[in-house]
Structure 1
C-alpha cells in the first residue's frame, strides 16, 4: 500500500477540517436566516398594524372630541329645542358654522349630519331639509331607534347626499360616528353623525402595489372597513378568500391560512377601544423567494469560504510542514528514501535524533573531561587574584560549588610543595607526575564537602579548605590534624617529604587570593625551620592578614558623580570615605602618596573632560602635585582636596545647572503665556521640551518658588481680571476660554481668590 507523505495527510485533514464547519455554518445560516425572515416579517407586520391602529384611533379620537364640543355647545342645545323656521336663520347660520368648523384635514370629515325628529328637520352640508321628506328617512330613523347611544358604524355614503349632489360621493361607504341627542334625556329624539369616507383612510394602510402582502381593517362583524380596493369595502372578509375568520378571537395573533389556494401568513390586531380588527396577509411564496435569494447568497459565500479555507489549509500545511522539511534537509534525509522504506517523516527524524542522543552521550563524557580542565584553570586564576570579586561566587556556583558556598562559615588556603628529590627514588622529570599524585591524594583524603578542587600553580599544589565550625580554635585544630595526616600519608605511600603552608582563617570568598599569598609566605620560612614542616601563617604575622591595599575605585566614581551633580554634602562625605581606607592601611609615608596622586589626577581628568580650565579653579601658579606632596597630616590633605580642587569644581557645575534651570523655567513660562487657554499640563510641557515631568516640576519650583499648576492658575486669573476690566465678554465665555468645564467652578474659584464674584469685580472696576 502506498504511504502518503505527512504533508499530504495534513492537507487532506485541513480540507476536511475546513469543509465540514463551512457546510454546517452554511446550512445553519440558511435555515436560521429563513426562520428569522419569517419572524422579522411577522414582527414588522404586527408593529405596522399597531401603528395603523394608532393612526386610525387618533383620527377617531379627534373626531369624537370635536363632536363632543359641538354637542355641548349652547348653539346646538338651543337649536335642538327650535323648529328652525324662517325666523331662525341666524341660529341656523351659527349652527352651520359649528358643523363646518369640525370638517378639517386632521379629522378627514366630509359631512356632519344633524337630525331632529321631534321638530322634523335635518341639517347637512348641502342645507336644511324636512326630515320626513328626505329620501333615506326610514334608514336614518332606524339609527335613532338603535340601542347604542354612541357608536362607529359603516353606512352607505348615498344616505348622506341629496338627489341634487348624489354623484359627489367619492366612496361607496362612509364610517360614521353616531351620537343620539339630547344626551341628557332618556328618550332621545335626534342624532348627530360625523361621516368619514372610508376611502380617505386608505393612505393609512401604507399599501405598496409592488409587494405581495395586503392590509385591511374589519369591523366587529368582520365586514371590510378599509381595503386597498374600494370595491371590497362593506363586504364580508370572505370575499378576499379568507375563511378562517373564526381564528380572530384573541387581542392579537399570527397563523397561516389559505387564500385562493395560496398559503399566506396572517397577522391580526384587535383594537381595544373600537373593536376593529387590523389584518395583514403576507404571501409565503414571497418569503420563500427571499429565502431562495439568501440561499443563493449563502451558497456563493460558502463556496468562496470553502476555496479560501482550502487554500489556507494548503498554505498552513505547507507552513507547518516547512520545519519538518528543514529538519529532513539538515539531517540529509531524502523523501524518496523515506517512501521506499515505508516510513513517515517522524520515524526518520526519530532515528536521526536517536543517533544524535548517542553522539550527545559521547560528547558529554568528553565535555566532562574538558570541564574539569576549565574548572582547574578557573581555580588557578582565582587563587592568583585574576578573577573579579563580583564574578567569583557566580562562577564557583556554575562549577558546582554552591553547596560548599552556602554551608561554609570559615575557610583557609592550604599550599603544598615538595621539599627535595635528592636522596629519593625520583628524578627531576618526575616532578609533574608526583604533583599529580599529591593532587589525587588530596581529593581522596579530604572529603569533597570540605574542599574545592585542588590545583597546581608553579610546582605548588593548593586547595581551599572550608568548615561549618564557628569556633576559630576548633577549625584550626581540625585543619592542622588534617594536614599532618595528609603529610604522613604522602610520606608513607610516596616516600616523599613535603611542606604545607596554611593561611589565616577568613569568611569571605573574595579573600581567596590573599589566603593563597599567605600560604606561600608561610612556606618561605622553610629557610629557617627546615623541611617537612606544617606551618600556619598566623605564627608568622601576629595573626594579621597579608597586606594588599586596593585602590577604592567605586568611591572615586561616586565622588566624581557627586561633583558633576553639584552635591556639596555628598561630595564631602565621599571624599572622607575615600581617604579613610587609604590612611587606615599600614604603609610607609611615601606609599600613601600613590593613591592621593592618583585621586588628584582623576579630578584633573574630569576637569579637562568637562571643559574647565585650570585657571577657573586655581588663581596662583605652581603645581598642584607639588602642593599635595608638601602636606603632612590627614586633616590638611582632606581640607586641601576640598578647598583647592573639589569645591571650585562644584561651583562651576552649579553655575552651569543654574543657567540650565533658568533657561528651562523661561521656556515653561513662555508655554504658559502662549497656551494658557488650552488644556496645558506639566506632561505636555515635558513632551514639548523633551524632559522628564518630575524633573521639570522640581526645576520650575526651584526657579519660581511656586508649582507649575499654581503659576498657571494665577496667570489664568490675571487674564480673567483683564478681560473683566477691558471687555464685555460674558463670564461663561471667559470660564470656557480658561478651560473650566462649569462656569460655577470659575465663579467659586474667583470669589475664593478675590473675595467677590466676577460680575461684582467687573462692576467695581467699570464704575471706577
Structure 2
C-alpha cells in the first residue's frame, strides 16, 4: 500500500475540514430557504383566501340585507296578495322599482326574480310573465318546494332569461340567493331570487395568467362556484384532477396533493358564513423553480467558498509543513526514502532523534572518559609545576573539586613507588598494570572528599591528600596512619612492597608542585633506609620546605611579545615584573645567575630567529654573558637588560613594523569586508596571515585606533543599516546573516548603538 507524505495527508485533511462545513452550510441554507419560501407562499395563499372570502361574504351579506328590505316592504307584501293584472300597472311599477333598486354595481346583482305560484305570475328584468307559461316553470317550482326557506345556490343562467334575451347571458351559471315568500306563511307559495353571475365575481379571485397558481371557490357539495376557467363552473371539483376532497374537512389547512401527475401545495379555507370552500393550488414545480435560483446562488457562493478554503488549506498546510521539511533537510532525510520505507516524516524524525540520543549517550560516555584523561593530564602537569597559579584553582573547580578546596585547611602530597619486582610473581612488563592497580586502590581507600584524583608520573603514583583539620599534628598523624594502611593493603592484596613519601603539610593549593618534589625527595632515602618505608619529608630536611628556584615563564613570554610589538612601556614594566619573583627567593648569588642567564638566552634566541645580528645590539667584542655575570645589584641588572639588549631590539622591531603595520591592517580590513557574515575571529585572521593573534590585535589597534571586535561590529552594523534601508530582508534573517545567536541580541545591540530598534529604523527611512 502506498504511503502518502504528511503534507499530502495534512492537505487532504484541510480540504475535508474546509469542504464538509461548506457543503453542510450550502445544503442547509438551500433546504431552509426552500422550506421558508414554501411556508411564505402558503401563508400568503392562506391570507389571500381569507381576503377573497371576506370580499365575497361582504357582497353576499349586502345582497342578503338588501333583499330582506325588499321582502319586508309594503309593496312586496301587497303584490304577493295580488293577481297582478294589466290594470295593476302602478303596483307593478312600484314593485319593479324596488327590484331594480337592489341591482347596483357593488352588489354585482344582474337580475332579481319574483315568483308567485298562487296567483301565477313571475317578474324579472325582462318583464311580467305568467308563471305556468314560463319555459323553466318546473325547475323554478322545484325551488319553491325545497326544504330550505333561505339558501344560496348555483343555477343555470338560462333559467332566468326569456328566449328573446337568452344570448345576452354573460355566464352559464348564476349564484342565487333564494328566499321563500311570504316569510310568515307556513306553506309559502312564492320566492324571490337575487342572481349574481358567477363571472362577475371572477375578479375577486385575483387571477394572474402568468402564475401557475389556481384559486377557486366550492360550495358545500364540492361543486365549483368560482374558477378562472368558466367552462368548469358548476361542475364537480374532480374535473380539475383533484380527488383529495376528504382532506377538506377542517376549517382551514394545507397539504400536498397529486393533481394530473404533478405535485401541488393545496391551501383551503372554509367560510363560516355559508360553508363555501376557498381553494388555492400552488405548483411545487413553480416553488422549485424559485428554489433553483436560490440553489444556483448558493452553489456559486459555496463553490467560491470551497475554492477559497481549499486554497487557504493548501497554503496553510505547506506553511505548517515547512518546519518539518526544514527539519528533514537538516537531518538529511529525503522524502523518496521515507515513501520507499513506508514511513511518515515523524517516524523518520523520531528515528533520527533516537539515533541522536544514542550518539549523545555515546558521546557523553566518551566525554567522561576523555574528561578523566584530561583531568589526569592536568593533575600531572600541576604536580610537575607546569600550570600557572591563577589557572590552577580555576581548573580544579571546573573538574569538580571546588567543595574540597573550600573545606581543606591542611594539604600534603603522597607519592608511591614500587620497590622491586625481584622475588615476586610479577615481571617487569607488569609494572604499568601494577601502578594502575595501586592507583585504583588509592581512590577506593581514600574518601573522595579527602583527595584529588591520583596520577602516575614516571613510575610514581601521586595524590593530594586534604583535610579540614587545622591542627598540624593531628593532620600528620591521620595521614601517617592512612599511608600505613594503604601500604598494608597493597602488600596483602598485590603481594607487593611499595615505599611511600609524604611532603610537608601546606595550606595553599599553589604549593602542589613543591610538595610533589618533596614527596619524590623523601623516596630517594630508600638508598639508606631500605625498601617498604613510609617516610615524611620533614624527617630528611629538618622540617624545611624544598627549595624551588622560581622562574616566571609566562612573564618571559609576555616580555618577548611586547618586544616584538615594539611596545616600549609595556616591555619595561614586564622586565621589572619578571625580575621581582626571581629575586624574591632566598638563594645564593650564584643561584640567581641561573634565571638571569636563562632570560638572556631566550632573548638571544628571539634575536636570532628574527634575523637580527649581534652587532646591531652589541657592537663590542665582549660576551654578553660575561657582562651579565659581572653585575652585582638588582638595579644594575635591570638597567643592563634594558639598555644593552631589550631597548635595541625594540628599536629594530619598530623600524620593521612601521613598514609592515599598514599592510597588515589593510589585510585584516579586507578579511572583515569579505567575511563579515561568518564567524570571523582575530585568531582566524592570525591563522590566515601567519601572525600571532596578540601581535595582530596590537597592530590593528595602533593603526585604526579601535580593536578588531569593535571594527567588525561597526562594519556589520553599517551593513545591517544598509539592508534595513534598501531591502525587505526580515530582521530575523539579518541577525542570522550577522552571526547573532538570536534576533533579540541583535535588536538589543542595535538599540544600544542607534537608540532605536531595527524596525523603527526601517520605518523611519522608508517614510522619509
State the TM-score, normalized to the length of structure 1. 0.42
> Which structure has the larger Rg over C-alpha atoms?
2
